[in-house]
Structure 1
Amino acid sequence: MTHKLDLAFSALADPTRRAILAMLLEDDMAVTDVADPFEMSLAAISKHLGVLTTAGLISQEKRGRVKWCKLEPDALREASVWMQAFGQMGALDLDDFEAFLAAQLPDS
């Protein structure tokens, strides 16, 4: 369990990855569409997507010649339960979390 939490929190520590998660709240996206708003190479975005995939926060699948990214909705449940154990947070409010992630989106 600790390794899984480490991966999730490490992935969430980066603002680019949080912005990517916010984008994926809306719908599945092709990797090239995920990369569009960022001023970095497709290779750099792919590395960020790899971290998110390894942490289980997103999944990626190839459809034809296009690789698509999808948010895994239950991915943060374990982290939420862990944080609740400290009594510092209530249950994960997905509306609040969505607002937080939306605030992380880069200016277009």
Structure 2
Amino acid sequence: MHAFDVLGDPVRRRILELLADGEQSSGAITGIIRAEFGISQPAVSQHLKVLRDNGFATVRPDGARRLYAVDDTALREADAWLSRFRRFWTPHLAALATEVARGKRQRRLANEEDNR
């Protein structure tokens, strides 16, 4: 399965977002995903398996619990694949950052002028 096939599913993306905040138990993940997506525990387990099998997550036993964490292996591969396309958005993001900084400077100068 290609990284973008794995990441194309909103449930798996949400699980990765949860794991990006730190190691999570399968029970905690299931509770959040069930509440947000209304899917069963076995369905959440299948999504976790896909993430594990494709290099996006790791699992380790901790007593009776299973703790999941992000595995950056597949994310690095996706990032490497995306690198050839960055030239399409990097200049636009740099221009946006310049405009944001310009706007902040103008507001700061206007506030300083008002306070005189």
TM-score between the two structures when normalised by the length of structure 2: 0.66
- CA–CA distance in 1 between the matches of 2:23 and 2:55? 15
Structure with larger Rg: 2
8 A Cα contact 1:12 1:18, kept in partner: yes
Q: Which residue of 2 aligns with 1:29?
A: 24
Q: Which has the higher helix share?
A: 2
8 A Cα contact 2:55 2:72, kept in partner: no
- CA–CA distance in 1 between the matches of 2:76 and 2:47? 21
Aligned: 1:68 with 2:67 = yes
8 A Cα contact 1:28 1:68, kept in partner: yes
Which of 14, 19, 29 aligns to 1:19? It is: 14
How far has the Cα of 1:75 moved from its partner? 3.2
Where relative contact order (Cα < 8 A, 6+ residues apart) is larger, the structure is 1
RMSD: 1.6
TM-score between the two structures when normalised by the length of structure 1: 0.70
Q: Unaligned stretches of 5+ in structure 1?
A: 91-108
Deviations 1:59-83 (A, max 9, x none): 0111111111011134311111112
Instruction: Report the CA distance shift for 1:21/1:57 in structure 2 as closer, same or farther (over 3 A).
Output: same
Which amino acid counterpart does residue 55 of structure 1 have in structure 2? N
Q: Secondary structure at the match of 1:75?
A: helix
- CA–CA distance in 2 between the matches of 1:36 and 1:17? 14
Among the aligned pairs, what percent are the same residue?
31
Q: Secondary structure at the match of 2:72?
A: coil
Aligned length: 85
Q: Which residue of 2 aligns with 1:84?
A: 83
Deviations 1:19-48 (A, max 9, x none): 000011111011010011222211110000
